Amino acid sequence: MNRSACIDRLHNPISELLDKAGADSTHSCMTDFRIKQLSNPFRKEYTKLSFNPNTFNLNNMAFVPPSGVWCPAITFFNHSDDTLDLPSQAQYYQYLSQTGLAGLVILGTNAEAFLLTREERSALISTARQAVGPSFPLMAGVGAHSTKQVLELVTDAAKAGANYLLVLPPAYFGKATTNAVIERFYDDVAAHSPLPIIIYNFPVVCNGVDLDSEFITKLAKKHANIVGVKLTCASVGKITRLAASLPAAEFATFGGQSDFLIGGLSVGSAGCIAAFANVFPKSLSKIYSLYKEGKVDEALKIHRVAALAESPCKAGIASTKYAAAIHTAKAAGIEGAEEKLKPRTPYMPVAEAAKGQIKDVMAEMAAIEASL
């Protein structure tokens, strides 16, 4: 959707604005007004809107996700019958929402989204919305292999209560996934999406497809509803270039891991979307808040401990889920979390030999988390 495009399918925050405007449906001329968006806590300043009762112009309108630490929440299963454990999931989402995080990502990579059915994906978003209430920010992953599949997931996410979309490039056919293909894909998704879009750059899960900063900038300038990017390529250089090219009020650049959170913030990132937030959400949020308060030395002290503690999570989802089971899920009061947080088949749980190492490496970080 380009900056002169109009949409007639709007998610709740914008729809509420239209309702509050009380415009006469027979009045055809455009009316400019200033209004504080009451139902969207993610943008505090006043925004100039061009309003027509029949169409809504997105010019100058961009709902950028809030800065801070976001957690791509992991998934709980009943492995006896291979179903979702939604009660435990709701308990987990609710706990995370109270730890200082900026928001939750539902159906990210660490949620094992590609192992879930369409119905299960929708159920997780709905469960999250019910668990965290109407105003806590939710971003939904809608990765799939074709434009049609992604747009179906976009529709589901909007209906289930998401505020933002996290969109991987389709890259199953790696060599055929040219820049022209990727641009066409994001053009189509942006044109039809009722929600703001966050580009998800993760070469490891996309056949090596790696979006450079110039390409991301081009997409963001082309589409008003592309409002951010998650860089799991771990490039602080990209963060620097994107921050130099795109105003923070219109575009949020998030690191994809927490171990370069301060490095990213120092060059203009909005924060991070990090799997490690499943394990120590309070600590990562504290690092962010200390840095933003100018207490850089205090932030670095915790950050260095966190960077070492995060190391086992680099081994994959199984390690992250085990660490979350013995730390965050326990703090949330979820019983039997270690079993419920085993990955979905055919993938294997963390090896017994690795469990002791994970506990040892994370011990100092666990003490910090417990103190917050």
Is the domain of 101 the same as that of 46? no
Whether the pLDDT of residue 14 is over 90: the answer is no
Is the domain of 273 the same as that of 342? yes
Instruction: List, for residues 68-80, the tens digit of each pLDDT value.
Output: 999 999 999 999 9
Is the domain of 332 the same as that of 241? yes
Q: What is the pLDDT of residue 11?
A: 38
Q: What is the pLDDT of residue 203?
A: 83
Which structural domain, as residue segments, surrounds residue 187?
A: 68-371
**Overall average pLDDT of the 249-253 stretch:** 96
Q: Is 1 contained in some domain?
A: no
Q: Which one of 14, 34, 57 terminates a domain?
A: 57
Integer-rounded Cα Rg, in Å, for the chain is 20
Q: What is the pLDDT of residue 21?
A: 36
Selected residue with higher pLDDT from 158 and 47: 158
Q: Which of 40-54, 125-139, 190-204, 322-336 is the least confident region? A: 40-54
Amino acid identity at 317: I
Q: From the candidates 20, 36, 230, 321, give the one annotated as an active-site residue.
A: 230
Q: What is the pLDDT of residue 39?
A: 34
Q: How many of the other CB atoms lie within 10 Å of CB of 321?
A: 27
Whether the pLDDT of residue 257 is over 50: the answer is yes
Residue 60's pLDDT band, with cuts at 50, 70 and 90, is: very low
Whether the pLDDT of residue 31 is over 60: the answer is no
Average pLDDT for the chain: 86
Q: What is the CATH number of the domain that holds 110?
A: 3.20.20.70
Q: Which one of 32, 57, 82 terminates a domain?
A: 57
DSSP string, 208-252: T----HHHHHHHHHH-TTEEEEEETT--HHHHHHHHHHS-TTT-E
Residue 113's pLDDT band, with cuts at 50, 70 and 90, is: very high
Is the domain of 177 the same as that of 292? yes
Is the domain of 53 the same as that of 82? no
Distance CA 261, CA 194 (A): 30
Sign of the CA dihedral 296, 244, 211, 230?
A: positive
Instruction: List, for residues 295-344, the tens digit of each pLDDT value.
Output: 999 999 999 999 999 999 999 999 999 999 999 999 999 999 999 999 99
Q: Is 62 contained in some domain?
A: no
Q: Is 259 contained in some domain?
A: yes
Whether the pLDDT of residue 179 is over 60: the answer is yes
What domain count does the chain have? 2
Q: Is 17 contained in some domain?
A: yes
Q: Please, what's the b/e burial string for 281-314 (b: 16 or more CB within 10 A of its CB; e: otherwise)?
A: bbbbbbbbebbeeeeeeebeebbebbbebbebbe
Distance CA 297, CA 290 (A): 9
281 closest CA partner among 36, 84, 94, 81: 94
Is the domain of 110 the same as that of 206? yes
Is the domain of 77 the same as that of 49? no
Q: How many of the other CB atoms lie within 10 Å of CB of 266?
A: 14
* Burial bucket for residue 186 (CB in 10 Å: 0-12, 13-18, 19+): buried
Selected residue with higher pLDDT from 254 and 55: 254
Q: Which of 204-208, 242-246, 278-282 is the least confident region? A: 204-208
**Overall average pLDDT of the 138-166 stretch:** 98
Is the domain of 225 the same as that of 166? yes
230 annotated active-site: yes
Sign of the CA dihedral 282, 283, 284, 287?
A: positive
Q: What is the pLDDT of residue 51?
A: 28
Q: Which of 95-104, 154-163, 229-238 is the least confident region? A: 229-238
Distance CA 54, CA 191 (A): 18
Q: Is 145 contained in some domain?
A: yes
Residue 234's pLDDT band, with cuts at 50, 70 and 90, is: confident
Is the domain of 252 the same as that of 303? yes
Whether the pLDDT of residue 247 is over 90: the answer is yes
Q: What is the pLDDT of residue 367?
A: 98
Residue 209's pLDDT band, with cuts at 50, 70 and 90, is: confident
Is the domain of 217 the same as that of 244? yes
Is the domain of 112 the same as that of 153? yes
Is the domain of 40 the same as that of 74? no
Please tell me the pTM assigned to this model: 0.84
